[in-house]
Amino acid sequence: MQIKAAVVREKFAPFTVETLTLDEPRADELLVRIVGVGVCHTDMVVRDQGYPVPLPLVLGHEGSGIVERVGANVKTLKPGDHVVLSYASCGHCANCLSGAPGYCDTFYERNFGGQRPDGSKPYQDGHGHAVCGCFFNQSSFGTHALVSERNAIKIPKDVPLELMGPLGCGIQTGAGAIINALKPGVGSSIAIFGTGSVGLSAVMAAKAVGCTQIIAVDMNDGRLELARELGATETINPGATDTLEQIRALSGGGVQFSLECTSHPKVLRQAVDCLRIPGVCGLVGAAPLGTEVALDMNTVLFGRTLRGIIEGDSVPQVFIPQLIELWRAGRFPFDRLVKYYDLNDINQAVADSESGVVLKPILKP
Ligand SMILES: [Zn+2]
Ligand SMILES: [Zn+2]
């Protein structure tokens, strides 16, 4: 079938919206008509080939839409179902079976391979040339996407479908880091470094689970203001003050938890150094491969923990419906982060996201 999709043809090049031919769904695939798709930092990292997914390529990994057709082996979803598309995992390795699909043995190939596991590519362009896809097993920057049963999460039909796509990656990453991974108790303290869409999702989640001190750190005063509206009890702009000194003063010596969402090694060090004993620092910011960090070994030795967190440690089939109920109850207002764009305006949406004007662009095909 003919579809419209945004294609990256060269490193650093703008997206071009093209007509492509998409394969028919195979027995284990579903065809989803996309109604909304969030733009995530990882899309830009791959456009710029920070991860070397082959080009030309259709990106997009925060899609939401309506199931149009299902292959013969698809059992749990049917045409007309509303779905949020999340990351891919195999379902049968030890980590998947242990409820940790974000750490699937084949996570990289399935999400960043640019093709199906058998090496086939799902699109042809107007000249009959193959175009890569299957990004996070969806490539949802288009009117339609081929996905699997495992990464299409059925959601209720009485919530705005076009809003829900970002739950599949960025929003669940920030919220899950708090709710699933760090699990701060009621009355605890946390410092969150970086208040983009991931950090602000963490702020909202920290408030929802009962943290009573939520310190947000960012260079952008506008974002800090929004962080306060969403639940931060204190904010720090590192340009104006000594961040560590201030966190220690505000928290009586250090916070119990911290979360690093900026990908900067110096910020990660602060996120560890600002902990009291014992304390746990979560790392969700993705830095270029090979990035190293300097830590005082004794800071960690004295009972502090540093742990990495992928996709918020979430099982999407379980966690995304939970976030939707939290949103419905008014306790997780992630709609405050969103601005809608037409798919044809994808380059404007990306520019607004990169400049920080907009926290979470959502494209509507
Ligand atoms: Zn697996
Ligand atoms: Zn993402």
Q: Is the omega angle on the peptide bond into residue 316 within 30 degrees of 0, that is, cis?
A: no
Q: Which two tokens stand for residue 184?
A: 């701060």
CA of 137 to the centre of ligand 1 (A): 14
Q: Note the pLDDT of residue 290.
A: 84
Q: Note the pLDDT of residue 289.
A: 78
Q: Where are the beta strands (DSSP E) in the chain?
A: 2-8, 16-22, 29-38, 57-58, 63-70, 82-85, 123-124, 130-131, 144-148, 152-154, 189-193, 213-217, 234-236, 255-260, 275-283, 304-308, 338-342, 360-364
Q: Which ligand is nearest to the CA of 100?
A: 1
Q: Which ligand is nearest to the CA of 106?
A: 1
CA of 262 to the centre of ligand 2 (A): 14
Q: Note the pLDDT of residue 335.
A: 98
CA of 330 to the centre of ligand 2 (A): 24
CA of 170 to the centre of ligand 2 (A): 5
Residues whose beta carbons lie less than 5 angstroms from ion ligand 1? 89-90, 93, 96, 104
Burial of 214 (0-12, 13-18, 19+ CB in 10 A): buried
Q: Which ligand is nearest to the CA of 99?
A: 1
CA of 99 to the centre of ligand 1 (A): 10
CA of 138 to the centre of ligand 1 (A): 17
Q: Note the pLDDT of residue 154.
A: 98
Q: Which ligand is nearest to the CA of 109?
A: 1
Q: Which residues contact 155 (CB under 8 A, 6 or more apart)?
A: 64, 82, 83, 84, 161, 164, 320, 321, 324
- Decide the pairing of beta strands 29-38 and 360-364: antiparallel
CA of 140 to the centre of ligand 1 (A): 22
Q: Note the pLDDT of residue 50.
A: 84
Stretches in the chain below the pLDDT threshold 70: none
